[in-house]
Amino acid sequence: MLIDFADYVSLAVFVIVVAGGGIGIGFFSVPGAWYAGLKKPFFNPPNWIFAPVWTVLYLFIAIAGWRVWQIDPYGLAMKLWLIQLGLNFSWSPLFFLAHRVAAALIVICVMFLSVFGFSIVASRIDLISAALFLPYVAWVAFASALNGSILYLNTDRFN
């Protein structure tokens, strides 16, 4: 794939929208005291790990979306990419601001299906895009288990 100046501009737009949107949502959806007071499973990572992991993931998400958009902007892979991004951007406010842990679990499970689906569909048109989503698939699977565990461990608080 040859890259010209317009491609660099469109890649920059993807990175700014994805990383900027994700970082902005994270900034306004800080976990805070409510989250600190919840019971968490033994596999809950330390808070400092989330920012670097999501920074790398958002970069991968942006590059994968840009690559697929270059190949097939109206195809199923691009539609799945847009769906997962919308779900991704809705999860933090739902969980951390609205404290809707059960609803957030539904969102993240649907997000997992769209992320996994993107990787499968993208593999038919661009293996690099599909591969860029594999760490994301793993992280969303882990985050789903974390969300579900927090819901289970704190059921008394959410009834």
Q: What is the CATH number of the domain that holds 104?
A: 1.20.1260.100
pLDDT of 108-127, one tens digit each? 999 999 999 999 999 999 99
Report the domain count for the chain. Answer: 1
Structural domain boundaries, residue 100: 5-158
> Tokens 């969102």 appear where?
107
Distance in angstroms (rounded) separating the CA atoms of residues 21 and 16: 7
Provide the H-helix boundaries in 43-133.
50-71, 76-92, 101-123, 127-132
d(CA 153, CA 49): 22
pTM over 0.85: yes
The pLDDT of residue 3: 67
Angle between helices 101-123 and 50-71 (to 10 degrees): 40
Residue 26: pLDDT above 90?
A: no
Residue 22 CA to its chain's centroid (Å): 8
pLDDT at residue number 70: 95
Separation of alpha carbons 68 and 78, rounded Å: 6
Question: How high is the pLDDT of residue 73?
Answer: 96
Q: Are 29 and 92 in contact (CB under 8 A)?
A: yes
pLDDT one-digit tens code per residue, 27-71:
888 888 999 999 999 999 998 999 899 999 999 999 999 999 999
**What DSSP character marks residue 96?**
I
The number of angstroms, rounded, from the C-alpha of 129 to the middle of its chain's C-alpha atoms is: 15
Condensed to tens digits (0 to 9), the pLDDT of residues 76-103 reads 999 999 999 999 999 999 999 999 999 9
Cα separation, 83 vs 74, in Å, equals 13
